[in-house]
Structure 1
Amino acid sequence: MMDNTNHNMVHTFERKIEDAISRRDLLCRDGFYVVALSGGPDSVALLRVLVSLGYTVHAAHCNFHLRGEESNRDEKFCEALCKKMGIELHRIHFDTAGYAKLHQVSIEMAARTLRYSYFDQLCKDIAARGICVAHHSDDQVETILLNLVRGTGLRGLQGMRWRNGNILRPLLGVTRNDVMQYLEAVGQDYVTDHTNLEDEVQRNKLRLNIIPQLEKINPAVKENVLRMAEHLGEADAIIHQALHDQAEKVCNPTTTEGVSLNIDLRLLHQQPSPEHLLWHLLSPYGFRRTQVGEIVDNQTNGNMWLANKWVAFIDREHLLVINKDEWGIATPAMHIPECGTYVLRQGNHERRFSFQQTEGPMEPSRHPHTVTLDADNVAFPLTLRPVEAGDRFVPFGMKHSKLVSDFLTDQKVSVIERRQQLVLVDAAGAIVWVVGRRVDDRVALNKNTTQRVLTIKWM
């Protein structure tokens, strides 16, 4: 039977967890959750306290097969504990070392990736509301210090979040010592991972060596680190709102097809911290901090930077971001042997062109999607193709030829539109139409066009 001291300690611990859950609206009573159960003291305490507080939970155990028989011992312990408590246990086995070798990542990164991918899929498969993991405030301090050593921004110095997607951390408000005292008070055993006692990985170096040295300088170092993280969280909220307001000033509506982000670089440089604002805008697309610095320092027209799925490039004092798939679409040339209707495919998009020959005379078309040409000066077969370097034509109303590229520059055509720009070429290789923009003066209708008219419609 539990004595008064232990009873009070258990009540205090559980009340602290319940208050934290309530304040942050972490869990609800009308659903169930999965507890990530390793068998260690933290996860066992989390399982016990959530059940004691009346929440409905399942447990999930990952066997990473990294510690030989000890890994199997942990699994058997979790199986026995869940059976005793009447909790459903989900288990999975991983070839962690094989995954790490295949993907050329560390064992720690491989285990983390496999674990959270499994948790995410398990939540979907059994319709759980979330995964509860047993990080406590000591883990939080270690995370913040690790982020500081590695180099981080404000977000990293705030440490782990109580809620991150479907990952929930109900124990962030209690210490490792609180957890151990709770387990002792309720008489609950657990397993010990011997690697946590070895001075090998970075986190253990902090836990076993660095933090004890810092506590010699100031015994309240952990509390101070956590308090600093809270203050930085408040400051970050203010900064985030300011960045949101500044982003609205510098971002233009993306009217060009395929463009996800259009940043006015002149307005960007008028903001208090252009580089930090640009990092705020580009980091969700996977661009690196070094690339952001390059963009701020080098704004030559046409410069381009690549992320995993995105392309960023300078276009006349604007920074445009476009999906790589859209950027890389190559438009094939289309052969047009005679009048009729033709469909040109550009990636996932289609453009329909109708060619019809009629008897003149006819007035030049003023409809934006129709052009009329002097058919006697246009020799079939025609070719519809992208603009090529060195292409020239005589713009309607002019007497001398001009590079199509110069014409597009004068028209202030964006880089993306240039990549998608088509020209219509006749059998003699002469450009008769820069599609959607200007016909060649030599094939335009005029007072001498009295016989045949070539009408082209597109959509």
Structure 2
Amino acid sequence: MRFSELGLSWADFKSDLIDWLTRHDLMRSDARWVVGVSGGADSTLLLHALRVINQDRDLKWSLHVAHLHHGLRTVDADADEQFVRQLAEDLKLPLHVERADLAAEASSAAGVNEETARIRRYEFFERVALQIGSDIIAVAHHADDDAETVLHRICRGTGLRGLAGMRETRPIRPGSTTRLVRPLLRVRRCEIERLCAEQRIAYRTDATNLTSRYTRGRLRNLVLPMLREQVNPNVTEALLRLAEQARWLGTYLEDAAERTFESLVVQESPACVVLNTRALLSKPRIIQAEIIRSAKSRVLGVERDLSFSHTDSVLKLAAEGETGKELHLPGSLVVRKVYDRLEFRPLSDGDATPELFPVFINCPGSTDLPVLGMRLTAEIHEVDGEAARNVPNGQRRNEEWLDVQRLKLPLYVRARRDGDRFWPLGAPGTKSLGDFLSDAKIDPALRSRMGVVCDQAGPVWVMPLRIDERVKLRPTTRRALRLVLTTAGEREA
């Protein structure tokens, strides 16, 4: 789809939108839509446009407005909710509102986790779709959102699929028949705001979009303006072209890998794929990576990519691994080398856990932990006494904050060892790691699969349970290390 022209008229905008909906088989009559509406210019314009098209074409759509109050920015969020309620009433459309408590779930000294908010929003939309019998969830991401996503992924470290940015349509979750659709993904933010002004469509301005407190806000308000001023005034368009070309190339590679895949398969069943390693290694490296991704998807039924480091580990196993050696990858996937064959299968309860050798942590930066199927991200933050007191250590399962001055760097992750002792945060004194895990009622079968973050003095975080008392933040703390544990591999946008 071409990107919208600047100065697009309302008639041309509607025409382009109808063309987009037609290409994606979304102009069928009697459809039920869930339209995510925050109250911002983008979602408000999308709702108005869909309503006008529905009336003009007599499509008899049932448009349902869905709004999630995150429990954040309480005063502004309350006003957003009231605006959306009034909007739905004015347009005579059914409304679905739900309140989440992300302030308790995802807050930290650095702010709210944006990924958590996105997940909760999509979960809510999916519940509404199930409730009303809809298979279409429309959200209003636009071209500037897509450019920010691409830049964000470049900064984090991404592969070809990450460069492709957001997908115009995709299942709301792998295997679902309910589609998430983004009709405005090729329309610029400035055009959306201009069309709202032209059509006298009122909207709310999200205050978080104007701040640089969050990562996306820093990219939007600091990094991209600097790039426009000092590097390329058309950097947004350049990022969007890069994403489009990455999508073209990704489609080509998927087709090429699919044509090659069958010639490499020694055995295939719903729970197992076995490939010929010699034939695999004879292919170009990028095709090898696509074939690994395809094997994972066939076994697990999940489309999410493996990270570069995981793909590299699988190919090293194919090329250099001894018979019987195996890798455990995200999504509970086991890859095992058996002579000249590579076996992909789901993890079973009886599988032995591979040894977790020490892995040094990038501080700051991200570190993949292939054996655990996880990624550990480390960030350094300047804090004051008030921020240190407000850090909710232990309240968010996969995130902890440590006092940099009290750490004996470097940090590394390893498996627990006999004789390990630490002082669990909030406990009266030290105890053995074994006793701590017993007290926490951790299944003995799972204990060998847990990573321990250590500095040169010993354990500082038994992931994801508790940090050591000696490294907690104090009123005197001025530099803090934020550690976040996530499942390796990127989520779909």
Asked if Structure 1 and Structure 2 have the same fold, meaning a TM-score greater than 0.5 normalized by the shorter chain, the answer is yes
Larger radius of gyration: 1
Unaligned 5+ segments in structure 2 are 1-6, 55-60, 172-178, 353-493
Aligned with 2:25: secondary structure?
coil
Return the match for 2:340 from 309, 317, 324: 317
User: For residues 223 and 101 of structure 1, do their structure 2 counterparts lie closer, same or farther at Cα, with a shift above 3 Å needed?
Assistant: closer
Indicate the residue corresponding to 1:435 in structure 2.
none
Unaligned 5+ segments in structure 1 are 1-6, 330-459
Quick check: 1:13–1:178 contact (8 Å CA) kept in 2? Answer: no
CA–CA distance in structure 1, aligned partners of residues 210 and 84 of structure 2? 21
Instruction: Tell me the CA shift for residue 158 of structure 1.
Output: 1.4
Tell me the amino acid that sits aligned with residue 262 of structure 2: E
Quick check: 1:311–1:322 contact (8 Å CA) kept in 2? Answer: yes
Indicate the residue corresponding to 2:51 in structure 1.
51
Quick check: 2:159–2:308 contact (8 Å CA) kept in 1? Answer: no
TM-score (norm 2): 0.60
CA–CA distance in structure 2, aligned partners of residues 327 and 242 of structure 1? 36
CA–CA distance in structure 2, aligned partners of residues 237 and 291 of structure 1? 22
Return the match for 1:117 from 123, 127, 135: 123
TM-score (norm 1): 0.65
Indicate the residue corresponding to 2:213 in structure 1.
200
User: For residues 8 and 106 of structure 1, do their structure 2 counterparts lie closer, same or farther at Cα, with a shift above 3 Å needed?
Assistant: closer
CA–CA distance in structure 2, aligned partners of residues 177 and 295 of structure 1? 45
* Residue 331 of structure 2 corresponds to residue 304 of structure 1: no
User: For residues 302 and 212 of structure 1, do their structure 2 counterparts lie closer, same or farther at Cα, with a shift above 3 Å needed?
Assistant: same
Quick check: 1:260–1:320 contact (8 Å CA) kept in 2? Answer: yes
User: For residues 190 and 207 of structure 1, do their structure 2 counterparts lie closer, same or farther at Cα, with a shift above 3 Å needed?
Assistant: same
Aligned length: 320
Instruction: Tell me the CA shift for residue 74 of structure 1.
Output: 0.8
Post-superposition Cα deviations, 1:98-139, rounded to whole Å, max 9, x if no partner, equal: 33379xx96212211111112122212211121100011111
Instruction: Tell me the CA shift for residue 326 of structure 1.
Output: 6.6
* Residue 248 of structure 2 corresponds to residue 239 of structure 1: no
Quick check: 2:267–2:275 contact (8 Å CA) kept in 1? Answer: no
Indicate the residue corresponding to 1:266 in structure 2.
278
Indicate the residue corresponding to 2:24 in structure 1.
24
* Residue 156 of structure 2 corresponds to residue 150 of structure 1: yes
User: For residues 211 and 67 of structure 1, do their structure 2 counterparts lie closer, same or farther at Cα, with a shift above 3 Å needed?
Assistant: same
Quick check: 1:29–1:56 contact (8 Å CA) kept in 2? Answer: no
Instruction: Tell me the CA shift for residue 87 of structure 1.
Output: 0.5
Quick check: 1:36–1:43 contact (8 Å CA) kept in 2? Answer: yes
Tell me the amino acid that sits aligned with residue 92 of structure 1: E
Indicate the residue corresponding to 1:431 in structure 2.
none
Identity over aligned pairs, percent: 29
CA–CA distance in structure 1, aligned partners of residues 22 and 310 of structure 2? 42
Aligned with 1:322: secondary structure?
strand
CA–CA distance in structure 2, aligned partners of residues 328 and 228 of structure 1? 42
State the superposition RMSD in angstroms. 2.6
CA–CA distance in structure 2, aligned partners of residues 29 and 239 of structure 1? 36
Superposition map of 1:413-452 within 5 A? none
Aligned with 1:320: secondary structure?
strand
Aligned with 2:255: secondary structure?
helix
Of stretches 117-126 and 58-67 in structure 1, the one that deviates more from structure 2 is 117-126
* Residue 307 of structure 2 corresponds to residue 295 of structure 1: no
Of stretches 189-198 and 78-87 in structure 1, the one that deviates more from structure 2 is 189-198
CA–CA distance in structure 2, aligned partners of residues 158 and 178 of structure 1? 23
Aligned with 2:77: secondary structure?
helix
Post-superposition Cα deviations, 1:14-51, rounded to whole Å, max 9, x if no partner, equal: 22222222233344333120110111111111111110
Tell me the amino acid that sits aligned with residue 267 of structure 2: P
Tell me the amino acid that sits aligned with residue 221 of structure 2: L
Instruction: Tell me the CA shift for residue 275 of structure 1.
Output: 4.5
Instruction: Tell me the CA shift for residue 262 of structure 1.
Output: 0.6
Tell me the amino acid that sits aligned with residue 291 of structure 1: H
Of stretches 260-269 and 284-293 in structure 1, the one that deviates more from structure 2 is 284-293
User: For residues 30 and 128 of structure 1, do their structure 2 counterparts lie closer, same or farther at Cα, with a shift above 3 Å needed?
Assistant: same
